[in-house]
Structure 1
């Protein structure tokens, strides 16, 4: 009888320990769910920041731009102000890019320094040069290259066509084009969203 009692005591201790361990793991998992990990991509940030004040807000809806930073849980700018920023084509520069679970946010600052905040990388900004009429042929050519890569189709001829178009440009447009072609080659090599040519952001 004493042996049975001792066995029961041991089993109780073991089961209790397992229960606490399971509860502890559940608590940790819950904490991880509540606070998603935020990771700053330094290389991606550097590439976007280097482009300078070329980004514009496409939408004036509430939530198109939040104050402060994503880490601080910013509050949306008013719709009235956002309409003004969109209408005036206010230029922004990227200060930091952060990945959060499956989302990507970018911290921005306006050229006059008045407005700071964060928005969604994929839908919250676009490159002002997308509407440069002299770059339209190049932009369309680069999009064809990326589409071919995504569909596992040959890209050599399409890339060559894009390079030819870039070589025909002059001045500042030539600089933009050469940088974009270089970044496009990076995309072809790595097939990574972070390698998307800055010129095509928002397209």
Structure 2
């Protein structure tokens, strides 16, 4: 005589994001929940990409630059090469900025086209113009504006000071300054990290 067992299968979603089927005292793996979606921040990507090859990786050895080709995905460039990026101030351009839940992934390509990869540290990329001595007064003035905004303090007078400093610059520095002031106003309006002036990336 055959024994008939009635099995109650309970599907539960656990904190690890996996779906399990539980039968009696036995837990059987059934399926996996869809992985977090990668969302490209188009506006931020466009702003950073438009800046061109102005980003260096001063903390590459700590922040790591991962290879993003299908064959090499997930693997970091060698420590020796990362040190070379830092020493030679290798210039990179942002190709895409992606958000993953509370994280950010920045897709980069070197100016010579030899190195492509991504880093999960947005502060790991550094605008080379932050080293420009002529721009230091403006950079400091813009930072004061952002700090005031973040602390819900008045920004009008501080913004005016930054604009005055920008107007005193000439040539390429003036172009960089005017663009930065425009982006700073966008930050004041929206209070969004993605509106951070490109000049201040890494500061």
Q: Structure 1 residues 27-36 or 138-147, which shifts more? A: 27-36
Say if 2:107 and 2:119, in contact at 8 Å, map to a contact too: yes
Most deviating of 9-18 and 128-137: 9-18
C-alpha offsets along residues 47-102 of structure 1, whole Å, 9 cap, x if unaligned? 00000000000124265100116998421000000001110000000000000111
Distance of aligned partners of 1:29 and 1:146 in 2 relative to their CA distance in 1, 3 Å threshold: farther
Q: How far did residue 121 of structure 1 move?
A: 4.3
SS of 1:27's partner is strand
Q: Which segment drifts farther, 10-19 or 156-165?
A: 10-19
Number of matched pairs? 203
Distance 1:76 1:3, change over 3 A: closer
For residue 193 of structure 1, what is the aligned residue in structure 2? 193
Of stretches 55-64 and 83-92 in structure 1, the one that deviates more from structure 2 is 55-64
Deviation (angstroms), 1:37: 1.3
Judge which range, 176-185 or 19-28, deviates more.
19-28
Distance 1:87 1:149, change over 3 A: same
Matches within 5 A, 1:132-143: 132-143=132-143
What SS is found at the alignment partner of 1:95? strand
Change (3 A) 1:81 1:28: farther
Q: For the residues of structure 2 that align with 1:73 and 1:62, how far apart are their CA atoms?
A: 19
Query: Rg bigger for which structure?
Result: 1
Specify whether residues 4 and 106 from structure 1 end up closer, same or farther in structure 2 by C-alpha distance, changes over 3 A only: closer
SS at match of 2:27: helix
Structure 1 residue ranges without an equivalent (≥5): none
Please report how far the alpha carbon of residue 143 of structure 1 lies from its aligned counterpart in structure 2 after TM superposition. 0.2
TM-score (norm 1): 0.82
Name the structure with the higher helix share: 1
The answer on whether the counterparts of 2:107 and 2:118 sit within 8 Å (CA) in structure 1 is yes
* Greater strand proportion: 2
Question: Corresponding residue for 2:64?
Answer: 64
Cα 1:4–1:103, aligned 2, differ >3 Å: closer, same or farther?
A: closer
Name the Cα RMSD after superposition: 6.0
Cα offsets for 1:106-141 (capped at 9, x unmatched): 100000000000013432201000010000000000
Runs of 5+ in structure 2 lacking a partner?
A: none
Q: Partners of 2:130 and 2:67 in 1: how far apart?
A: 26
